Chain A
Amino acid sequence: DQQVKQNSPSLSVQEGRISILNCDYTNSMFDYFLWYKKYPAEGPTFLISISSIKDKNEDGRFTVFLNKSAKHLSLHIVPSQPGDSAVYFCAVEGAQKLVFGQGTRLTINP
C-alpha cells in the first residue's frame, strides 16, 4: 500500500529548460509536503516544503505546487542546471514521521 507515489523513475531535461517532477499521495489527511534531493552515496538534503493551506511555495529556482483535490504535488526547477542532476524524493508528513516516494532520477543534459 504505497501512500506516496512518484510514477516516473527517471526524467531527462535540457540545461536551461524547466524540470517538472510529480508526486501523488492517497491520504487527504496529510497536511505537510516536502521535497528532498539526493546525490549518490550521500544523505538526502531538504529542498522545499509546503503546507496544505497553500497551493504554491517558491524558493529561488524551486517552486512546489500542491493540488489538494487531485492529491498531487509537483516540483518545478527553472532554469535547470547540471548540478540539479540527482534523485528527487517527495515526502508527506504525518505523526512526526515522513513517508517517502520511490524517487525520480533527474538528469540535466548540457
Chain B
Amino acid sequence: SQTIHQWPATLVQPVGSPLSLECTVEGTSNPNLYWYRQAAGRGLQLLFYSVGIGQISSEVPQNLSASRPQDRQFILSSKKLLLSDSGFYLCAWSKGAEQYFGPGTRLTVT
C-alpha cells in the first residue's frame, strides 16, 4: 500500500531564516505531488504541484519554492521566511482525481 511521509512534524523558525520541508511517497511510481498550506482558520491553498521529476508548477507567487529531485520526493523551500509563512503545510500525492495527504508540518515563524 502507499504511504506518504512528511518531516519535521513541527518547526519554529525565526523571520529571515531558511526553510526546507521534505515529503516522500512509498508504494507508487510517478505520482503527481502537491504542496498545500492551511493558514489558521482557513481552507487549503495549493502552493505547488508536480507531474514529474523537475516539473514544478507554482500556483501562488510568494517567497517559497519547490523542487522534485527524485520521483517520489518533493521539497518545499524558502531562502528567507516571513511571519506570513506560518501555517500548516501539507504534502499530497495522486494517481487519479483523489489526492492523499501526509500528516503535515506545523510551521511557526517568530
Q: A44-B44, A98-B46, A103-B43 are in contact. Are A93 and B97 (CB under 8 A)?
A: yes
Among B43, B99, B102, residue most surrounded by chain A Cβ atoms (within 10 Å): B43
Chain B at the A interface: SS class: strand
- Docked pose: A97 CA to B36 CA in angstroms: 11
Q: How far is the CB of B107 from chain A (nearest CB, A)?
A: 12
- Determine which of A42, A45, A49, A103 lies in contact with B97 in the assembled complex, contact meaning CB atoms within 8 Å: A49
Q: How many A-B residue pairs have CB under 8 A?
A: 45
Interface size on A, residues (CB 8 A): 20
- Docked pose: A96 CA to B59 CA in angstroms: 13
Q: Would you call A97 and B90 a contact (CB within 8 A)? A: no
CB closest residue in chain B, given A93: B97
Interface size on B, residues (CB 8 A): 22
Among B44, B46, B59, B92, residue most surrounded by chain A Cβ atoms (within 10 Å): B44
Chain A at the B interface: SS class: strand
B109 located at the interface, meaning its Cβ lies under 8 Å from any Cβ of chain A in the complex: no
Return chain A residues, CB-CB under 8 Å to B49: 96-97
- Determine which of A36, A41, A49, A100 lies in contact with B104 in the assembled complex, contact meaning CB atoms within 8 Å: A41
Return chain B residues, CB-CB under 8 Å to A45: 101
- Determine which of B59, B94, B97, B101 lies in contact with A44 in the assembled complex, contact meaning CB atoms within 8 Å: B101
Q: Would you call B43 and A97 a contact (CB within 8 A)? A: no
A83 located at the interface, meaning its Cβ lies under 8 Å from any Cβ of chain B in the complex: no
- Docked pose: A44 CA to B102 CA in angstroms: 8
Q: How far is the CB of A3 from chain B (nearest CB, A)?
A: 11
A32 located at the interface, meaning its Cβ lies under 8 Å from any Cβ of chain B in the complex: yes
B: residues with CB less than 8 A from A are 32, 34, 42-44, 46, 49, 51, 59, 88, 90, 92, 94, 97-104, 106
